[in-house]
Amino acid sequence: AQKVTQAQTEISVVEKEDVTLDCVYETRDTTYYLFWYKQPPSGELVFLIRRNSFDEQNEISGRYSWNFQKSTSSFNFTITASQVVDSAVYFCALSEAGRDDKIIFGKGTRLHILP
Amino acid sequence: DTAVSQTPKYLVTQMGNDKSIKCEQNLGHDTMYWYKQDSKKFLKIMFSYNNKELIINETVPNRFSPKSPDKAHLNLHINSLELGDSAVYFCASSQPGQFGQPQHFGDGTRLSIL
Protein backbone atom coordinates (compact mmCIF):
# COMPACT_ATOMS: atom_id res chain seq x y z
CA ALA A 1 0.00 0.00 0.00
CA GLN A 2 1.18 3.50 -0.69
CA LYS A 3 1.74 5.86 2.19
CA VAL A 4 3.37 9.22 2.82
CA THR A 5 4.58 10.20 6.28
CA GLN A 6 5.47 13.71 7.33
CA ALA A 7 6.50 13.21 10.92
CA GLN A 8 6.91 16.91 11.68
CA THR A 9 3.47 18.30 12.38
CA GLU A 10 4.64 21.83 13.06
CA ILE A 11 7.98 23.65 12.87
CA SER A 12 8.92 27.16 13.94
CA VAL A 13 12.16 28.83 12.96
CA VAL A 14 13.44 32.37 13.03
CA GLU A 15 13.73 34.17 9.72
CA LYS A 16 16.97 33.53 7.80
CA GLU A 17 17.45 30.12 9.38
CA ASP A 18 17.56 27.03 7.20
CA VAL A 19 14.84 24.45 7.72
CA THR A 20 14.31 20.92 6.42
CA LEU A 21 10.92 19.29 6.07
CA ASP A 22 11.02 15.51 6.16
CA CYS A 23 9.03 13.15 3.96
CA VAL A 24 9.14 9.36 4.03
CA TYR A 25 7.11 7.29 1.62
CA GLU A 26 6.08 3.67 1.16
CA THR A 27 5.34 2.01 -2.13
CA ARG A 28 5.68 -1.40 -3.74
CA ASP A 29 6.00 0.07 -7.20
CA THR A 30 9.32 0.71 -8.86
CA THR A 31 7.81 3.50 -10.92
CA TYR A 32 6.32 6.40 -9.05
CA TYR A 33 6.37 10.17 -8.70
CA LEU A 34 6.89 12.33 -5.65
CA PHE A 35 5.61 15.87 -5.22
CA TRP A 36 5.74 18.80 -2.87
CA TYR A 37 2.90 21.28 -2.61
CA LYS A 38 2.69 24.50 -0.59
CA GLN A 39 -0.50 25.78 1.04
CA PRO A 40 -0.03 29.37 2.26
CA PRO A 41 -2.43 30.96 4.77
CA SER A 42 -4.60 32.15 1.86
CA GLY A 43 -5.50 28.49 1.32
CA GLU A 44 -4.61 27.67 -2.27
CA LEU A 45 -2.44 24.67 -3.14
CA VAL A 46 0.70 25.51 -5.06
CA PHE A 47 2.73 22.87 -6.90
CA LEU A 48 6.44 23.11 -6.09
CA ILE A 49 8.22 20.11 -7.55
CA ARG A 50 7.83 16.67 -9.10
CA ARG A 51 10.45 13.94 -9.03
CA ASN A 52 10.25 10.53 -10.69
CA SER A 53 11.55 7.36 -9.09
CA PHE A 54 14.35 6.94 -11.62
CA ASP A 55 15.88 10.33 -11.03
CA GLU A 56 17.70 10.64 -7.74
CA GLN A 57 19.43 13.87 -8.63
CA ASN A 58 18.92 16.57 -6.07
CA GLU A 59 17.12 19.66 -7.24
CA ILE A 60 17.71 23.28 -6.35
CA SER A 61 15.41 26.15 -7.18
CA GLY A 62 16.49 29.41 -5.61
CA ARG A 63 16.28 29.00 -1.83
CA TYR A 64 14.48 25.66 -2.18
CA SER A 65 16.21 22.31 -2.53
CA TRP A 66 15.05 18.73 -2.51
CA ASN A 67 16.96 15.60 -1.51
CA PHE A 68 15.57 12.35 -2.91
CA GLN A 69 17.07 9.15 -1.49
CA LYS A 70 15.52 5.86 -2.59
CA SER A 71 17.67 3.91 -0.10
CA THR A 72 15.79 5.54 2.77
CA SER A 73 12.54 6.19 0.86
CA SER A 74 12.82 9.87 1.67
CA PHE A 75 12.19 13.06 -0.25
CA ASN A 76 13.16 15.92 2.02
CA PHE A 77 12.68 19.59 1.33
CA THR A 78 15.06 22.29 2.56
CA ILE A 79 14.44 26.02 2.60
CA THR A 80 17.61 28.06 2.91
CA ALA A 81 17.59 31.51 4.48
CA SER A 82 13.90 31.23 5.30
CA GLN A 83 11.59 34.21 4.92
CA VAL A 84 8.28 35.07 6.55
CA VAL A 85 6.55 34.44 3.19
CA ASP A 86 7.62 30.80 3.44
CA SER A 87 5.15 30.33 6.29
CA ALA A 88 2.68 27.74 5.05
CA VAL A 89 1.62 24.13 5.27
CA TYR A 90 3.78 21.94 3.06
CA PHE A 91 2.54 18.64 1.68
CA CYS A 92 4.58 15.78 0.34
CA ALA A 93 2.70 13.45 -2.02
CA LEU A 94 3.13 10.20 -3.96
CA SER A 95 1.64 8.92 -7.20
CA GLU A 96 2.14 5.33 -8.38
CA ALA A 97 2.14 4.12 -11.97
CA GLY A 98 -1.13 2.58 -13.06
CA ARG A 99 -3.08 4.09 -10.21
CA ASP A 100 -5.19 6.39 -12.35
CA ASP A 101 -2.98 9.32 -11.48
CA LYS A 102 -4.19 9.18 -7.90
CA ILE A 103 -2.05 11.25 -5.57
CA ILE A 104 -1.70 10.31 -1.92
CA PHE A 105 -0.84 13.24 0.31
CA GLY A 106 1.02 13.26 3.60
CA LYS A 107 -0.64 15.03 6.51
CA GLY A 108 1.42 18.15 5.96
CA THR A 109 3.94 20.12 7.99
CA ARG A 110 2.94 23.56 9.20
CA LEU A 111 5.94 25.86 8.97
CA HIS A 112 6.08 29.12 10.91
CA ILE A 113 8.82 31.58 10.03
CA LEU A 114 9.18 34.07 12.86
CA PRO A 115 10.39 37.60 12.08
CA ASP B 1 -6.27 33.80 -16.35
CA THR B 2 -7.54 31.37 -13.74
CA ALA B 3 -6.60 27.80 -14.62
CA VAL B 4 -8.92 25.91 -12.25
CA SER B 5 -11.80 27.90 -10.83
CA GLN B 6 -14.31 26.85 -8.20
CA THR B 7 -17.52 28.52 -7.14
CA PRO B 8 -18.54 29.47 -4.59
CA LYS B 9 -15.48 30.22 -2.48
CA TYR B 10 -17.51 30.04 0.72
CA LEU B 11 -20.70 28.12 1.37
CA VAL B 12 -22.58 28.30 4.65
CA THR B 13 -25.73 26.25 4.96
CA GLN B 14 -27.82 24.26 7.36
CA MET B 15 -27.79 20.57 8.02
CA GLY B 16 -30.08 18.62 5.72
CA ASN B 17 -29.82 20.99 2.78
CA ASP B 18 -28.57 20.08 -0.70
CA LYS B 19 -25.79 22.11 -2.26
CA SER B 20 -23.53 22.11 -5.31
CA ILE B 21 -19.99 23.28 -5.93
CA LYS B 22 -18.90 24.03 -9.48
CA CYS B 23 -15.46 23.57 -10.99
CA GLU B 24 -14.11 24.56 -14.36
CA GLN B 25 -10.63 24.27 -15.85
CA ASN B 26 -9.27 26.00 -18.93
CA LEU B 27 -6.05 24.00 -19.16
CA GLY B 28 -7.36 21.52 -21.69
CA HIS B 29 -6.82 18.66 -19.25
CA ASP B 30 -8.74 15.41 -19.59
CA THR B 31 -8.84 14.47 -15.91
CA MET B 32 -10.45 16.32 -13.03
CA TYR B 33 -10.59 15.53 -9.32
CA TRP B 34 -12.33 16.43 -6.10
CA TYR B 35 -10.45 16.42 -2.81
CA LYS B 36 -11.65 17.03 0.72
CA GLN B 37 -9.45 18.79 3.27
CA ASP B 38 -10.61 18.39 6.84
CA SER B 39 -10.01 20.67 9.81
CA LYS B 40 -6.65 19.02 10.46
CA LYS B 41 -5.55 19.86 6.92
CA PHE B 42 -5.63 16.24 5.79
CA LEU B 43 -6.17 16.07 2.02
CA LYS B 44 -7.99 13.07 0.65
CA ILE B 45 -9.12 12.30 -2.86
CA MET B 46 -12.84 11.76 -3.35
CA PHE B 47 -13.39 11.34 -7.08
CA SER B 48 -11.68 11.62 -10.41
CA TYR B 49 -13.15 11.83 -13.89
CA ASN B 50 -11.37 11.29 -17.16
CA ASN B 51 -13.12 12.85 -20.12
CA LYS B 52 -16.49 12.63 -18.35
CA GLU B 53 -15.94 9.05 -17.18
CA LEU B 54 -15.69 8.19 -13.47
CA ILE B 55 -12.25 6.73 -12.72
CA ILE B 56 -11.79 6.98 -8.96
CA ASN B 57 -14.47 6.80 -6.29
CA GLU B 58 -12.90 6.63 -2.87
CA THR B 59 -15.60 5.21 -0.60
CA VAL B 60 -17.41 8.48 -0.45
CA PRO B 61 -21.00 8.44 0.88
CA ASN B 62 -23.71 8.25 -1.75
CA ARG B 63 -24.85 11.71 -0.73
CA PHE B 64 -21.92 13.03 -2.76
CA SER B 65 -22.45 12.87 -6.50
CA PRO B 66 -20.00 14.29 -9.01
CA LYS B 67 -21.27 15.36 -12.40
CA SER B 68 -19.16 16.07 -15.44
CA PRO B 69 -21.11 17.67 -18.31
CA ASP B 70 -17.90 17.95 -20.33
CA LYS B 71 -14.23 17.41 -19.72
CA ALA B 72 -13.69 21.02 -18.65
CA HIS B 73 -16.25 20.85 -15.84
CA LEU B 74 -16.65 18.67 -12.78
CA ASN B 75 -19.35 19.69 -10.35
CA LEU B 76 -19.96 18.24 -6.91
CA HIS B 77 -23.48 17.88 -5.59
CA ILE B 78 -24.06 17.02 -1.95
CA ASN B 79 -27.41 15.87 -0.62
CA SER B 80 -28.66 15.99 2.95
CA LEU B 81 -25.63 17.81 4.29
CA GLU B 82 -24.26 16.67 7.65
CA LEU B 83 -22.07 18.42 10.19
CA GLY B 84 -19.15 16.18 9.23
CA ASP B 85 -19.25 17.52 5.70
CA SER B 86 -17.78 20.79 6.91
CA ALA B 87 -14.42 21.04 5.16
CA VAL B 88 -12.59 22.71 2.32
CA TYR B 89 -13.23 21.03 -1.02
CA PHE B 90 -10.63 21.33 -3.73
CA CYS B 91 -11.05 20.70 -7.41
CA ALA B 92 -7.98 19.79 -9.46
CA SER B 93 -7.07 18.80 -12.99
CA SER B 94 -4.20 17.08 -14.75
CA GLN B 95 -3.32 15.58 -18.09
CA PRO B 96 -3.41 11.78 -17.88
CA GLY B 97 -1.52 9.43 -20.08
CA GLN B 98 1.57 11.31 -19.01
CA PHE B 99 2.03 9.63 -15.70
CA GLY B 100 3.18 11.83 -12.89
CA GLN B 101 1.90 15.11 -14.23
CA PRO B 102 1.25 17.49 -11.34
CA GLN B 103 -2.30 18.29 -10.51
CA HIS B 104 -3.38 21.91 -10.68
CA PHE B 105 -5.72 22.93 -7.90
CA GLY B 106 -8.49 25.45 -7.59
CA ASP B 107 -8.56 27.82 -4.64
CA GLY B 108 -10.96 25.65 -2.68
CA THR B 109 -14.54 25.98 -1.43
CA ARG B 110 -14.97 26.28 2.31
CA LEU B 111 -18.19 24.51 3.26
CA SER B 112 -19.60 25.21 6.73
CA ILE B 113 -22.62 23.32 8.01
CA LEU B 114 -24.61 24.97 10.78
Cβ atoms within 10 Å of B37's Cβ, excluding its own:
22
* pLDDT per position as a tens digit, A32-79: 999 999 999 999 999 999 998 988 888 889 999 999 999 999 999 999
Find, among B31, B35, B54, the residue nearest to B107 by Cα: B35
Give pLDDT, residue B101. Answer: 77
Distance CA A61, CA A46 (A): 15
A44 reaches B (C-beta below 8 A): yes
Name every chain A residue with its beta carbon within 8 A of the beta carbon of B103: 47, 101, 103
Distance CA B79, CA B94 (A): 27
> Residue A9: pLDDT above 90?
yes
8 Å CB contact of B100 and A107: no
8 Å CB contact of A33 and B99: yes
Size of interface A-B (CB pairs under 8 A): 60
Tell me if B43 sits within 8 A of B90, measured CB to CB: yes
Tell me if A32 sits within 8 A of A95, measured CB to CB: yes
* pLDDT per position as a tens digit, B24-71: 999 999 889 999 999 999 999 998 888 888 888 887 899 999 999 998
Name every chain A residue with its beta carbon within 8 A of the beta carbon of B97: none
- Percent pLDDT > 70 in chain A is 95
Distance CA B50, CA B95 (A): 9
CA of residue B89 relative to chain centroid, distance: 6
* pLDDT per position as a tens digit, B80-114: 999 999 999 999 998 866 666 788 999 999 999 99
8 Å CB contact of B42 and A107: yes
Tell me if B92 sits within 8 A of B102, measured CB to CB: no
Taking CA B56 as the corner, what is the angle to CA B109 and CA B46, rounded to the nearest 5 degrees?
30
Best of B48, B103, B111 to disrupt the A interface by mutation (most A CBs within 10 Å)?
B103
Angstrom CA distances, B51 to B5, B47, B48, B54, B113, stand at 18, 13, 10, 9, 31
- The SS3 of residue B84 is helix
Give pLDDT, residue B10. Answer: 96
